[in-house]
Amino acid sequence: MTARIVLLVTSPRLPAGLLSAAAWDLVRVHPVFTAAESEQADALRAAGVTVTVLPPDPEALLGALAVPGSSTGAAGGTGAVVVWLSGPGGDQDFARQLGLRLAREPALAELELCYGSWDPPGARLLDAVAVIDRLVSPGGDPWKRQQTHTSLAPYLLEEAYEAYDAIADGDLDGLREELGDVLLQVVLHARLAEDRPEGQRWSVDDVAGGLVDKMVRRNPHVFAGEQVADVEEIIENWERIKRAEKARGSVLDGVARSQPALSLAEEVQRRAERAGLTVPLPPGPVLRQDEAPGPAPRDDEELGAVLLRVVAAARAAGLDAEAALRRATLAYADAVRAAENGNVAPPG
């Protein structure tokens, strides 16, 4: 029977000692060697397995395999089996050298690969958390260490816009990269929150846990067996559960005030309409005939032209169209809240 060398590869992202049944069968019966001490080696020793450190040299391992009674503890001879416990990096250079060595003299031993554990889906997220922790911890990156939630806020918006641009451009490869930049902001904010005073701290696990709990609550048709007729009913359920969770006093609660003024104006009006509130728009000057087509715009293209002319007129007058629309929208939002309380008053 030909001797065998089994390369045992494990995931560095799973707890040490969390191995498959096949891996445990190997290490309990055959000598185990590794290039350096590791948490995995410690876990095996704690379970009664002998783990010997050897230089990552094919000749050293072959010597341990071939010599009966070797000081390394290998049970040598024909049919002998030894296990090489790969380090966290996978020992790829050593595995390549060993493979080439056995390719030259295949009679020495057969080379096998055994996965003792695999990366679960999302495992690289653990790497992202570890990298950011290293950057923010003492001895890390000075720039990241001096950031705050406030100083990082513009970057969160910028990265989200760039991801949106990639979607609009149909650039899915670019989207992958841009979402990574968005993820960086999420993980970095969560890491900074770990350094807040006692009682105010939270971590990326709290962020992920809150997300999981929310998704389970708001999707009872998936997680609780609730029957739904169509997508419209799913949306209705989502809104109903959201209202019960938030216990909001106004239909405008939760509207992101920092979003662009035009989308803010549309969202405020949409929510007011959905709530059945009739709030008059603020009075204003009537556009000259050369500034608007007269009747309401017929399509997106015509509407875009009207808005563009309004912005151009504002610039010509030295006005900030974004700021002006935001102020008018927030005043209109106040009027919507007043209408909810039965005190209808026109904004402006």
188-240: pLDDT as tens digits: 999 999 999 999 999 999 999 999 999 999 999 999 999 999 999 999 998 88
Boundary (domain end) residue, out of 202, 217, 252: 202
The answer on 109 and 82 residing in a single domain is: yes
Calculate mean pLDDT across residues 169-193.
Answer: 97
Residue 163 in any domain: the answer is yes
Q: Is the pLDDT of residue 177 over 90?
A: yes
Q: 46 with 81, same domain? A: yes
Q: What is the structure's pLDDT at 54?
A: 94
Question: Do 51 and 97 lie in a common domain?
Answer: yes
Q: Is the CB of residue 322 less than 8 Å from the CB of residue 259?
A: no
In this predicted structure, the answer to whether residue 140 has a pLDDT above a threshold of 60 is yes
Residue 346 confidence class, pLDDT cut points 50, 70, 90: low
Quote the radius of gyration of the chain (alpha carbons, Å): 32
140 and 99 part of one domain: no
- The stretch 100-125 carries a mean pLDDT of 92
* Count of domains observed in the chain: 3
Q: Are residues 138 and 71 in the same domain?
A: no
In-domain check, residue 246: no
Average pLDDT for residues 175-179, to the nearest whole number?
97
pLDDT, position 242: 84
**Residue whose tokens read 């020793």:** 45
Specify whether 103 is located in the same domain as 135.
no
Regarding whether 109 and 39 lie in a shared domain, the answer is: yes
Is residue 327 within 8 A of residue 320, CB to CB? The reply is no
Residue 69: pLDDT over 50: no
Q: Residue 65: what pLDDT?
A: 82
CATH number of the domain that residue 156 is part of: 1.10.287.1080
Judgement on whether residues 138 and 176 belong to the same structural domain of the protein: yes
Is 236 a member of any domain? no
Report pLDDT for 66: 67
pLDDT of residue 347: 54
Residue 214 counted as domain residue? no
* Average pLDDT value for the chain: 88
Task: Show which of 80, 97, 115 is a domain's final residue.
Answer: 115
pLDDT over threshold 60, residue 344: no
* Domain co-membership, 287 together with 267: yes
pLDDT of residue 128: 96
Within a domain: 251? no
Q: Does any domain span residue 274?
A: yes
Asked whether the predicted pLDDT for residue 72 surpasses 70, the reply is no
Res 19 pLDDT > 50: yes
Beta strand pairing call for 51-53 and 110-115: unpaired
Is the same domain home to 15 and 95? yes
Q: Which domain holds residue 148?
A: 123-202
pLDDT at 329 over 90: yes
- Kindly tell me if the per-residue pLDDT of 158 is higher than 90: yes
Predicted local confidence at residue 294, as pLDDT = 58
What is the rounded CA–CA span in Å between residue 33 and residue 40? Answer: 12
Task: Please say which residue of 160, 180, 202 terminates a domain.
Answer: 202
Interior angle at CA 189, CA 130 and CA 248, nearest 5: 135
In a shared domain, residues 106 and 11: yes
Q: Which tens digits make up the pLDDT trace of 275-314? A: 888 888 887 665 554 554 456 778 888 888 888 988 999 9
Q: Lowest-confidence range among 150-154, 243-247, 267-271?
A: 243-247
**DSSP character string of 230-244:** SHHHHHHHHHHHHHH
In a domain, 242, yes or no: no
**pLDDT score, position 281:** 84
pLDDT of residue 345: 54
Residue 225 carries which DSSP code?
-
Average of pLDDT values for 94-116? 93
pLDDT digits 0-9 by tens, 304-318? 888 898 899 999 999
> How far is residue 91's CA from residue 144's CA, in Å, rounded to a whole number?
32
Can you give the pLDDT at residue 86? 95
Is the domain of 105 the same as that of 138? no
Contact call for residues 263 and 325 (beta carbons, < 8 A): no
Predicted confidence at residue 76, as pLDDT, reads: 46
Asked, for residue 336, whether it belongs to a domain, the answer is yes
Residues linked to residue 9 through DSSP beta bridges, in sequence order: 115
Q: What is the pTM of this model?
A: 0.72
